[in-house]
Each structure stands twice: as structure tokens, then as C-alpha cells.
């Protein structure tokens, strides 16, 4: 017989009660109450002993203990059905609306009084069940319910919506990504998810995981979506490429570095660019230095430097002009922050991307022939041994007579006629000899030119031997090293803060020299140690100088732009943009960006070289020189300028440094930077 009541009561045998199991209410019958524990028979026909605290606050109705087990189970079934039906009829939002803002906590009995004039046990239990499930509106703090305020409810509803969307994304997206992975290794149209909204979210996720491989915000979702798939580093990119989000050979390293290829990025800073152009237009006048030449590759459009060398009885006169964006640069502006983030220009087989906006790098500041340009200039007199006798930096307007290429300069040097270039070559040779006497290490190796050709089958890679121009390259390298070294010493003497390149290590005396054999280059480079960017003028041992600060490429490197602006300020008798503390504060971010962008310059050409090997298949053979056999055998492929490694067993167990092998390559994976030696025999 039913016993209705409006408040909670003590546990006693014969009551219908509910308890939580796996966060769901289970209907049960109280068989016995023993102090703090209760023995029950639940609707699933199981007898259990529970702590009394596990029983939910709504209890009843109570029935005679004379009922049979089957009669009890039938009663539990009836109450369960009625409570489920009542649950479906309740609107939890309506219940919450009647209470929120007025009270913060209430019992299920009190809340039931708001919904019904007469609330029986089944209605109270049904309401209790609904309140337990409505975690966005109520929190169960036994025996009562906390009533959340509106702002908390709004936040929790949003969280629940996101959780439901996430579960939906996982359930549908996992199957799709699995099918997409299978498609990644075969041709044909890629599968498509049935839901456009699902497609959008998955695309956003893949793009984010490509850009931020270690993104903690999406890690849990990503792990659930890709469970069962190989957890390789490039999985997001493989899936995105298979889907058509990225084309073949897409340079994902640019995305990871947040480096925008091309010049579109500069459009956002048009106002700053126009301001620089206006200031530059007011800097007019006739050139104070003419008859200069520049030497660069034929494709170079951003001309950083030009020079003029003349010989006299006791030595040489030399004038070097450097493009001068530092005279007009708006440090601290949005444009400056964007350029600092780019850090350097990129020169890749697929093209070039300027550090500066292209209009500034290739036009307004570039030392193009027959165009008057502002410049940081350096006039020096050197004796016949390369010692600087006179040093005079300044700011001027210059006119470059000709933009020469390495190739045509090399031809002129090989000719019989006298020219100022031969004078420059003589000086460069003296400077090289002087540096070697001071312990310099010169690496003489040439990277192949990577040529990319589009065909119906896709991009084909060819490696071509670079044009040999040792004389022209010697002139450029030694004159630029001289310029950077001279400015570093000048700034050090004046205590002008600059960003110096340092390598203050002890080098063995036998390291000094010009090295061209692969095994020597490998040994030397591994022993040199890294160069640092610092504000203290310390030695750079492998260059063979006591102080070195790069100034000669202000169109291509942010460090050079900063250094040039510092020097130009002193020459204009104004305060430099940065004191030493300012440069020190800049270094962490500057070094980080230089490293991140430098990774693109290092690994992207290697990608194309590996693709070159892959396209030629296992039938092609390659020449390799053993450069290390202390662990794995490491070989340098001199023609391709790439290192490969293999186990000693591939070479019969014994190798010696400098030994030459013919190699056949096995698996080559440009994306994962893998290259395996399949077979080797001594040449």
C-alpha cells in the first residue's frame, strides 16, 4: 500500500529507493537496514549491500514486507516506467527559471512543490532524476541541489554544446580520416565527409596540426580521431595533402615558421611603406660616389653592396657602398615587427622571398645600376699586406655604374686586359692570405643548383653543377668580410652597441687553411662549434678576426639592418635606436626567429635533393666519400652535397676515412627526411 509524503524520511525496509550507478539512478527495494548500510534488491534482480549515503534523497513509497520477490520486481518495474514517462514531460529550463536569482539551494521536495500542487513519490523521483541530469542548471550537493545563476548556466550550456560537437566530430571524423589515410598512398579521387560542417572542422583541425604539430589545445581531440593510425610526425600533412588541402611538395615549414611567402604580406603595411618612400623622396641630390660596381648572381634583384678598388704604390684605396634602409627604418612600428619576425630573406629552389617589402628591397633601396641611391659608405686605404691605414665611414648618395654577374666577372678576370677587377682580385687574395695567417678556416665547397621543372607527371628535380667563379666569389667574400670586420672594430673602439657574431673558442693551429675534401670539411665543421649573436665584441676564430659584426646585407638580414641603423645614427650625430640593454632584450626573440626561419633554408633544399634521388629510383648509383665511421658509417655525396649514413655491415664491416664507394639507394622519403643505403661497393 502506497504511503505518500512531502518530505524525506528515514530508510526502512519495504521502501522503494534509488541509488546512482555509473552516474545513472537505479530503482531498488530496501530489504534490510543495518546501521549505516542497507541491503537492497534492484530492478535488475541483483541483491546488494550499499552504504546508506549512496541512497538518493527521494524515498518511497513503502510497501508490505510480505510481498514476494516477483511482486517486488513487478512494482519496481511499474515505478520505473512511470518515472521515465514523467521525466520526459518535465522541462528542466522551466524549473530552473522559477528558482534562479531567488534562492541558491533547495531540496527536491521543495522544487517539486513549484511544479505540482500534489507531488507523489514518482513525481519527486522523476524530478530528482531530471535535476541530476541537468548539470548545466543544478549541482547535486546531497541532500539538496545548488541552483546555478544565469551566467554560470550560459557558460555550462556552451561547454556542453562544444562537448557534444566534439563527440560528434570524433564519431564521424575518425572513420573519415582512416579512409583518407588509406587514400594517401594511392591515386584516385579523395573520399569526402558527408557533412559540410564536419568537413570544415576537420580541415581547420588538419591545418592547425600542420602549423602547430605540438598544439596542446587540440591534442586530445587529435589523439581520439587518429587512434589506430600510425602516429608519425607528418600525419596531419599526409591527410591534408591526400584530401587536396595542400598540393604535392607544399612547403609546410613556412606555415610552422609563420613566414608568409611572396610579397602579399606587405600590403598590410602600405602606410608605413609610403612614409618611407616620402622620406626617401626628400633625400635628393647628386651622387658623391660614382663608378661603383656590384657582383651578384644573375637572378639577384636586391643589390646590397657595391665597391670600387684602386691600387697605388703603397697599397690600395677601396670604397664600399651599402644599401641604406637603416637610415629611414621605422623601428618599433608594425612594419618593423613584421620584418623582424621574417628575420631574413629566403632563397629556395622554388624561388625567393624578400625579408623587406619587395618595393623597398628590389627597387627603392637596391643599388641598381644608373640609379642614385642613399648609402652607408666606407672609404679605406690599405697597405700592400692588407693592413688598414685609413678608415673613413660616412653617409652619401651613390651611383652604381654596373650590376655585374659572377660569370661575366670571372671571364674578365681570365682575360688578358687590365681592369679594376683584377686589382680587386689581387686585394682579395691578400686579404684571404692575411686571414689564414690569423687562423681562419675556409671551406671550399659548392652546392649544386637545384632545378625544378613542371611536367604532366608533376615536378621533376634536376641537380646541375654550379658555375665555377672562384675569382669573382673571392672578391665579394673578402671585401664583405673586410667591411664587416672594419665596422666591428670601429664600433668597438667607440663603445657603440652592435650585434656581433662571435666564436670565441680555441681552434687547433692545424685547422687554419682552405679545405675542400669532404672528409676534411666534415671533421673541421664538427669541431668548430656554433657561432653566437652577442652584444660583446669578441673574436670570431674561424673567420680569423678579433671582432665581427654583419652590416653588408641590410636588405636581406634583420641583424644587418639593426647594425646599419646604429652606425648611421652615430654618423648623423644622433642617438642610436638601441642602447646595449635594448639589444640584449631583442636577442632572445631575434635568435629564436633566426633559428626557425633558418630551418627552412636548411631543410627545404634537402627535401628537393631527396626527391631527386627518389625520382631516379633504385637503379641509379651515386658516389659517396666516407667522412665518419665512429658509429654508423657517414658518407658525403660531393656532387649532391648531402650526407647519408648506413650500418657497417653494408660496407663489409671495415671502412676508412676518405674511402670512396659507389652507392645504390633504397627507400627515400623526402617528407620524413629519410634516405637509406641499399648497397655499396668500393670504387
Within 10 angstroms of residue 353's Cβ, the number of other Cβ atoms is 20
Cα-only R_g, the chain: 38
Does residue 4 form part of some domain?
no
298-347 confidence digits (pLDDT tens): 999 999 999 999 999 999 999 999 999 999 999 999 999 999 999 999 99
Residue showing cell 641499399: 678
**Which pLDDT value is given to residue 2?**
34
pLDDT under 70: residue ranges of the chain: 1-9, 188
Does residue 48 form part of some domain?
yes
Does residue 655 form part of some domain?
yes
d(CA 266, CA 272): 10
d(CA 597, CA 253): 9
Asked whether residue 312 falls in the same domain as residue 450, the answer is: yes
Asked whether residue 542 falls in the same domain as residue 667, the answer is: no
**Which pLDDT value is given to residue 72?**
95
d(CA 661, CA 218): 47
Last residue of a domain, one of 198, 215, 246: 246
Angle at 609 between CA 236 and CA 477, to 5 degrees: 120
**Which pLDDT value is given to residue 6?**
42
Does residue 251 form part of some domain?
no
- Among 318, 301, 300, smallest CA distance to 309 is for 318
Does residue 1 form part of some domain?
no
Asked whether residue 238 falls in the same domain as residue 302, the answer is: no
- How many distinct structural domains can be found in the chain? 4
- CB burial class (10 A; 0-12, 13-18, 19+) of residue 392? exposed
Asked whether residue 471 falls in the same domain as residue 523, the answer is: yes
Asked whether residue 374 falls in the same domain as residue 387, the answer is: yes
Asked whether residue 563 falls in the same domain as residue 644, the answer is: no
Does residue 254 form part of some domain?
no
**Which pLDDT value is given to residue 4?**
36
Q: Which domain holds residue 650?
A: 617-682
Asked if residue 407 lies in contact with residue 469, where contact means CB atoms within 8 angstroms, the answer is yes
pTM: 0.81
Does residue 542 form part of some domain?
yes
**Which pLDDT value is given to residue 185?**
76
Residue showing cell 622519403: 669
Asked whether residue 142 falls in the same domain as residue 170, the answer is: no
Helix ranges (H only) for 235-372 are 235-243, 252-257, 270-281, 334-342, 358-359
d(CA 497, CA 380): 22
Amino acid at each position: 500500500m502506497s504511503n505518500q509524503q512531502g518530505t524525506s524520511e528515514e530508510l526502512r525496509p519495504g521502501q522503494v529507493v534509488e541509488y546512482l550507478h555509473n552516474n545513472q539512478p537505479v530503482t531498488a527495494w530496501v530489504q534490510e537496514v543495518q546501521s549505516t548500510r542497507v541491503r537492497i534488491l534492484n530492478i535488475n534482480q541483483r541483491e546488494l549491500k550499499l552504504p546508506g549515503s549512496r541512497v538518493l534523497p527521494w524515498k518511497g513509497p513503502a510497501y508490505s514486507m510480505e510481498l514476494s520477490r516477483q511482486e517486488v520486481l513487478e512494482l519496481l518495474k511499474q515505478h520505473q516506467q512511470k518515472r521515465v514517462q514523467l521525466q520526459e514531460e518535465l522541462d528542466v529550463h522551466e524549473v530552473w527559471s522559477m528558482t534562479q536569482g531567488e534562492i541558491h539551494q533547495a531540496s527536491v521536495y521543495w522544487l517539486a512543490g513549484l511544479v505540482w500542487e500534489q507531488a507523489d513519490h514518482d513525481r519527486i523521483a522523476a524530478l530528482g532524476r531530471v535535476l541530476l541530469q541537468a548539470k548545466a542548471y543544478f549541482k547535486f550537493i546531497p541532500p539538496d541541489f545548488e541552483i546555478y545563476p544565469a551566467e554560470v548556466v550560459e557558460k555550462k550550456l556552451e561547454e556542453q554544446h562544444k562537448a557534444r560537437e566534439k563527440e560528434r566530430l570524433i564519431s564521424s571524423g575518425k572513420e573519415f580520416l582512416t579512409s583518407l589515410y588509406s587514400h594517401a598512398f594511392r591515386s584516385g579521387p579523395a573520399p569526402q565527409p558527408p557533412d559540410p560542417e564536419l568537413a570544415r572542422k576537420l580541415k581547420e583541425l588538419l591545418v592547425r596540426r600542420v602549423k602547430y604539430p605540438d598544439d596542446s589545445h587540440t591534442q586530445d581531440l587529435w589523439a581520439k580521431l587518429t587512434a589506430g593510425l600510425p602516429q608519425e610526425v607528418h600525419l596531419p600533412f599526409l591527410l591534408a595533402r591526400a584530401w587536396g588541402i595542400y598540393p604535392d611538395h607544399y612547403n609546410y615549414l613556412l606555415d610552422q615558421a609563420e613566414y608568409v611567402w611572396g610579397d602579399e604580406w606587405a600590403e598590410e603595411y602600405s602606410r608605413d611603406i609610403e612614409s618611407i618612400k616620402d622620406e626617401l623622396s626628400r633625400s635628393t641630390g647628386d651622387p658623391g660616389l660614382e663608378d661603383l660596381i656590384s657582383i651578384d648572381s644573375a637572378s639577384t634583384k636586391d643589390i646590397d653592396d657595391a665597391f670600387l678598388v684602386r691600387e697605388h704604390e703603397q697599397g690600395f684605396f677601396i670604397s664600399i657602398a651599402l644599401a641604406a634602409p637603416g637610415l629611414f627604418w621605422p623601428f618599433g612600428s608594425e612594419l618593423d615587427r613584421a620584418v623582424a619576425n621574417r628575420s631574413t630573406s629566403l632563397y629556395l629552389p622554388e624561388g625567393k622571398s624578400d625579408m623587406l617589402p619587395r618595393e623597398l628591397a628590389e627597387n627603392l633601396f637596391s643599388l641598381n645600376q644608373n640609379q642614385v641611391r642613399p648609402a652607408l659608405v666606407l672609404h679605406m686605404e690599405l697597405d700592400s699586406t692588407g693592413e688598414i691605414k685609413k678608415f673613413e665611414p660616412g653617409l652619401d648618395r651613390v651611383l652604381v655604374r654596373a650590376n655585374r654577374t659572377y660569370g661575366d666577372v670571372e671571364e674578365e678576370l681570365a682575360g688578358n686586359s687590365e681592369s679594376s677587377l683584377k686589382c680587386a682580385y689581387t686585394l682579395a687574395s691578400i686579404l684571404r692570405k692575411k686571414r689564414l695567417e690569423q687562423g681562419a678556416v675556409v671551406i671550399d665547397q659548392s652546392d649544386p643548383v637545384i632545378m625544378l621543372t613542371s611536367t604532366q607527371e608533376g615536378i621533376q628535380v634536376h641537380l646541375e653543377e654550379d658555375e665555377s667563379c672562384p675569382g669573382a666569389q673571392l672578391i665579394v667574400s673578402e671585401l664583405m668580410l673586410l667591411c664587416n670586420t672594419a665596422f666591428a672594430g670601429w664600433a668597438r673602439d667607440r663603445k657603440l652597441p652592435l650585434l656581433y657574431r662571435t666564436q670565441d673558442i680555441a681552434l687547433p693551429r692545424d685547422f687554419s687553411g682552405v679545405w675542400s675534401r669532404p672528409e676534411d670539411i666534415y671533421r673541421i665543421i664538427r669541431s668548430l662549434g656554433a657561432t653566437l649573436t652577442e652584444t660583446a665584441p669578441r673574436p670570431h676564430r674561424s673567420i680569423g678576426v678579433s671582432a665581427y659584426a654583419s652590416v653588408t646585407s641590410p636588405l636581406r638580414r634583420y641583424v644587418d639592418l639593426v647594425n646599419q641603423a646604429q652606425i648611421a645614427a652615430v654618423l648623423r650625430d644622433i642617438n642610436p635606436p638601441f642602447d646595449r640593454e635594448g639589444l640584449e632584450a631583442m636577442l632572445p626573440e631575434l635568435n629564436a626567429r633566426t633559428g626557425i626561419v633558418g630551418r627552412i633554408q636548411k631543410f627545404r633544399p634537402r627535401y628537393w635533393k631527396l626527391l631527386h634521388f627518389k625520382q631516379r629510383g633504385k637503379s641509379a648509383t651515386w658516389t659517396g666519400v666516407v667522412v665518419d665511421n665512429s658509429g654508423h658509417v657517414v658518407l658525403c655525396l660531393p656532387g649532391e652535397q648531402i650526407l647519408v649514413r648506413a650500418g657497417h655491415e653494408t660496407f663489409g664491416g671495415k671502412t676508412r676515412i676518405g674511402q670512396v664507394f659507389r652507392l645504390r639507394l633504397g627507400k627515400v622519403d623526402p617528407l620524413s627526411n629519410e634516405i637509406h643505403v641499399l648497397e655499396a661497393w668500393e670504387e
